[in-house]
């Protein structure tokens, strides 16, 4: 076999291996839907059945004893937090920390009394843009300490389960589909921030001091299959999380979140374990980056 033909054969073999991996992994490791647990499992069982295999699940009645489930009405929140200044994210469309027009755009952050935010939420006043309260790294403890008594500062049984794996640091439970990482390589985008103009329109201001952000710009609700034909190989897991339910979302899974109505979510973060699974993930990520030009040029051939 001539050398060029040998190289083509090797590249095609690499392409088949990477394309077959998600299917094999799904068949061996994951179900077609996110399982429900009706009771809190013992920490050791949860560690063995869910943390070690890195599988998501939804736990019913996980925090039914929290006062927040009954107390957190808009009237109660207004009474407890009305005059408190809080950080509010503002975007033109509800999308933030996302790619828009070849920029990785973050929300405009405003500080306003919580009562003013509630006035916008309840449509008592109108203002351009979509307003929501969110901030990375423990805004509940830093900006809403008045509400801490209505929830638990940590999840005791989860802390014990994860203590078997790693030391507790802080919490948020994240879901991401690791299978997609084999199909996509993040692109680098210059960071920017939304800024609302006097006429109510939004401008995008570049942040020239920050490094470019790696991101996968695909919209799973409306994927551009012409630009990302390999998305047809992805099989996302979809689930609905209702009031009183807890979603355990393992590390190294991509995710997309929507809400059907106004809601409040309390998220807990734990450190992941940098074990053999992480090494495999890094290996697949590196191989995909090397093979991506080949996959892009020959996926449909």
Instruction: Quote the CA–CA distance of 270 and 167 in Å, as a whole number.
Output: 8
Cα gap 101→88, rounded to integer Å: 23
Question: CB 256: neighbour CB atoms within 10 A?
Answer: 13
* CA gap 178, 28 in Å, rounded: 14
Inter-residue contact 266 to 151 (CB < 8 Å): yes
Q: Indicate the DSSP class of residue 294.
A: H
Tell me which range, 93-107, 155-169, 227-241, is most confidently predicted by mean pLDDT.
93-107
pLDDT tens digits for range 123-166: 898 888 899 887 766 778 888 889 989 988 777 777 777 665 44
When pLDDT is averaged across residues 226-233 and rounded to a whole number, the result is 79
* Percent above pLDDT 70 for the chain: 83
The Cα 9–Cα 293 span in angstroms is 16
User: What span, in angstroms and rounded, lies between the C-alpha atoms of 38 and 31?
Assistant: 18
Pair 216, 186: CB distance under 8 Å: yes
Which has the closest alpha carbon to 7: 294, 300, 301? 294
The values of phi and psi at residue 131, to 5°, are: -105, 135
pLDDT at 108: 92
Q: What is the pLDDT of residue 113?
A: 95
- CA-CA distances (angstroms) from residue 16 to 190, 235, 244, 280? 33, 18, 43, 18
Eight-class DSSP state of 179: G
Alpha carbon distance 186, 40 (integer Å): 36
Tokens for 127? 């203002």
Tell me the pLDDT tens digit for each residue of 58-83: 998 888 888 988 899 889 999 999 88
Rounded to an integer, what distance in angstroms lies between the CA atom of residue 165 and that of residue 97?
30
Distance CA 187, CA 114 (A): 37
SS3 assignment for 184-231:
CCCEEECEEEEEECCCCCEEEEECCCCCCEEECCCCCCCCCCCCCHHH
Q: For residue 104, how many other CB atoms are within 10 A of its CB?
A: 22
Name, in order, each residue with C-beta under 8 angstroms of 239's C-beta and a sequence gap of 6 or more.
Answer: 33, 34, 56, 58, 247
Please report which confidence band the pLDDT of residue 176 belongs to, taking 50, 70 and 90 as the band edges: very low
Tokens 């179900």, residue located = 31
Q: What is the per-residue pLDDT across 199-220, written as a single tens digit (0 to 9) for each?
A: 888 999 988 888 898 887 888 8
User: What is the Cα 48 distance to its own chain's centre?
Assistant: 24
Distance CA 135, CA 109 (A): 9
Question: Which one has a higher pLDDT value, 206 or 301?
Answer: 206
Span 261-298, pLDDT tens digits: 778 888 877 766 666 777 777 777 777 777 666 656 55
- Computed over every residue of the chain, the mean pLDDT equals 79
Global pTM reads 0.74
Tokens of 196: 């609302």
Q: Is pLDDT above 80 for 260? A: no
Instruction: Tell me the C-alpha distance between 14 and 151, whole Å.
Output: 50
């Amino acid at each position: 076999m001539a050398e060029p033909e040998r190289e083509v054969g090797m590249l095609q073999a690499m392409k088949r291996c990477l394309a077959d991996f998600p299917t094999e992994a799904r068949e061996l490791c994951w179900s077609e839907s996110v399982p429900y647990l009706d009771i809190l499992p013992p920490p050791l069982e949860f560690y063995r059945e869910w943390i070690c295999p890195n599988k998501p699940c939804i736990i019913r009645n996980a925090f039914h004893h929290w006062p927040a489930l009954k107390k957190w009405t808009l009237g109660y929140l207004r009474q407890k937090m009305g005059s408190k200044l809080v950080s509010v994210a503002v975007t033109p469309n509800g999308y933030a920390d996302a790619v828009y027009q070849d920029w990785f755009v973050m929300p405009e952050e405003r500080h306003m009394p919580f009562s003013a935010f509630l006035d916008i939420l309840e449509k008592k006043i109108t203002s351009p843009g979509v307003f929501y309260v969110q901030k990375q790294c423990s805004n509940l403890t830093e900006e809403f300490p008045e509400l801490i008594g209505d929830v638990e500062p940590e999840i005791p049984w989860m802390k014990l389960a994860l203590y078997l794996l790693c030391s507790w640091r802080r919490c948020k439970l994240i879901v991401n589909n690791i299978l997609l990482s084999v199909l996509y390589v993040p692109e680098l985008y210059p960071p920017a921030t939304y800024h609302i103009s006097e006429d109510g329109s939004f401008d995008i201001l570049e942040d020239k001091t920050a490094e470019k952000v790696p991101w996968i710009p695909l919209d799973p609700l409306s994927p551009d299959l012409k630009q990302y034909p390999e998305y047809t190989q992805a099989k996302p897991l979809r689930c609905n999380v209702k009031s009183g339910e807890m979603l355990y979302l393992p590390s190294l899974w991509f995710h997309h979140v929507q809400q059907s109505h106004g809601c409040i979510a309390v998220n807990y973060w734990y450190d992941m374990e940098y074990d053999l699974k992480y090494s495999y993930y890094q290996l697949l990520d590196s191989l995909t980056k090397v093979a991506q030009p080949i996959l892009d040029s020959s996926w449909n051939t």
